[in-house]
Amino acid sequence: MKIGLGVTGGIAAYKAAEIVRLLQDRGIRVQVIMTEAAQEFVRPLTFAALSGEKVVTGMFSRGEEHEPNISSAIEHIAVAQSIDALVVAPATADVLAHFAQGIANDFLTALYLATTAPVVVAPAMNVNMWNHAATRANLEILRKRGVKIVEPGSGYLACGMTGAGRLAENEAIIAATLEALGASQDLSGETVLLTAGPTREKIDPVRYLSNRSSGRMGYALAEAALRRGARVLLVTGPTAIKPPSAAEVTQVESAEAMRNAALELLPESTIVIMTAAVADYRAKNPGSQKIKRKGPMSLDLEPTADILKEIASRKGSRLVVGFAAETSNALENARQKLTGKNLDMIVVNDVSREGVGFDSDRNAVTILTCDSLETIDVPETGKWDVAQRVLDQIVRLRDHPKSAVKI
């Protein structure tokens, strides 16, 4: 998901930097658009560094020859089509007036007209400007048009006066943005315990046994759950990707460490989702020195703890969801795991298929739940969509608890 964040010229412009960070924490890409006046308050470089994206600073960015660049002249159309919401924070009285009257004389105001995405504005200005009949009338026009207005707070203002006009708290702006993005907060109040990634079982100081797992499915679920309002406790094995920064992360290596971390966090959780590709076996006697090559050798293995089974046996009123990577008889095996391990839901992926599953951004899964013999097919799509579908089923099971189907 991507939002356009318009920053206009007010003392509160610096507060937009924190808004960029909070949105990114939730996995949302941010394209910052600064008005000329905003650039008097904060340098575009600050936003470029924070957002990792080029900041739009004008309608006609100039190329090396100082000639207006033709592609930049129509960039507002491209940005308008690429964003899922336009958020303006802080929004001055001037930009509200431009939006209300449809005057498009810079990038941000042209973007407002060109986008069909939902629009959120967080006004900030002097109290008299806020109370002025012109501002009130413009706000009324915008409100009627469906623009979401995050009302400013009251207090001491930078101009020395006291009253309404302070930029709303960041949390309120983020909540309005998430709402505009259609991210319902149906997991607010829930704490989701998630395992993700592979585990590594030591053979000697330089070698280990592991599973093919990028952690992407688990991290997508973590991000999606956060965006739907949950607190997320993420227990993860080693991966090459960055976990969502709003998740509370516990890094582990071995199955034993993952088990200990998960059991310790279990009491805090209300929903458990185990996506980790836990190694099923570990070396019985891992070497303390590097094992030398001396012709054929065999490795004595012993099973690791089945974390999912152990968690499910102590689940209480929690919902417990497992994942199953199968290469044959996927549904049959998954149904057995669902009932055998006392799970509420299992998400099966057939990892024998090309291009989905391991090390891919895409996945195709079948969801089995304890209350139905019907299966839910999620045909090949991005892992983000799969995560949303899994969370939809969790919310359904939570809101309509039914007894498990007897097979």
Q: Shortest distance, CB of residue 337 to ligand CTP, whole angstroms?
A: 6
Q: Shortest distance, CB of residue 219 to ligand CTP, whole angstroms?
A: 14
112 binds ligand CTP (CB under 6 A): no
Q: Shortest distance, CB of residue 130 to ligand CTP, whole angstroms?
A: 53
Contacting ligand CTP within 182-201 (CB under 6 A): 195
Contacting ligand CTP within 240-259 (CB under 6 A): 255
* C-alpha triplet 200, 201, 207: angle, nearest 5°: 85
Distance, CA of 302 to CA of 287 (rounded, Å): 15
The answer to whether 83 and 77 have CB atoms below 8 angstroms apart is no
Cβ-based nearer residue to ligand CTP, 35 or 195: 195
Using the rule CB under 6 A, which residue among 253, 256, 306, 392 binds ligand CTP? 306
Cβ-based nearer residue to ligand CTP, 109 or 195: 195
Using the rule CB under 6 A, which residue among 13, 157, 325, 391 binds ligand CTP? 325
Cβ-based nearer residue to ligand CTP, 11 or 364: 364
307 binds ligand CTP (CB under 6 A): yes
- The one-letter amino acid at 391: L
Cβ-based nearer residue to ligand CTP, 129 or 331: 331
**Which residue matches tokens 């008889």?**
329
208 binds ligand CTP (CB under 6 A): no
CB atoms within 10 A of CB 406: 6
Q: Shortest distance, CB of residue 320 to ligand CTP, whole angstroms?
A: 9
266 binds ligand CTP (CB under 6 A): no
271 binds ligand CTP (CB under 6 A): no
Cβ-based nearer residue to ligand CTP, 304 or 366: 304
365 binds ligand CTP (CB under 6 A): no
Cβ-based nearer residue to ligand CTP, 39 or 250: 250
Q: Shortest distance, CB of residue 236 to ligand CTP, whole angstroms?
A: 12
142 binds ligand CTP (CB under 6 A): no
Q: Shortest distance, CB of residue 220 to ligand CTP, whole angstroms?
A: 15
Tell me the catalytic residues. Answer: 159
274 binds ligand CTP (CB under 6 A): yes
217 binds ligand CTP (CB under 6 A): no
Using the rule CB under 6 A, which residue among 9, 197, 322, 357 binds ligand CTP? 322
27 Cβ contact list (under 8 Å, min separation 6): 1, 223, 226, 227, 244
304 binds ligand CTP (CB under 6 A): yes
Query: Does the CA dihedral 61-63-69-74 come out positive or negative?
Result: negative
Cβ-based nearer residue to ligand CTP, 4 or 322: 322
59's tokens: 């309608």
Using the rule CB under 6 A, which residue among 324, 345, 356, 387 binds ligand CTP? 324
366 binds ligand CTP (CB under 6 A): no
Cβ-based nearer residue to ligand CTP, 20 or 308: 308
276 binds ligand CTP (CB under 6 A): yes
Which residues of the shown chain bind ligand CTP in the complex (CB under 6 A)? 195, 255, 274, 276, 278, 280, 304, 306-308, 322-325, 337
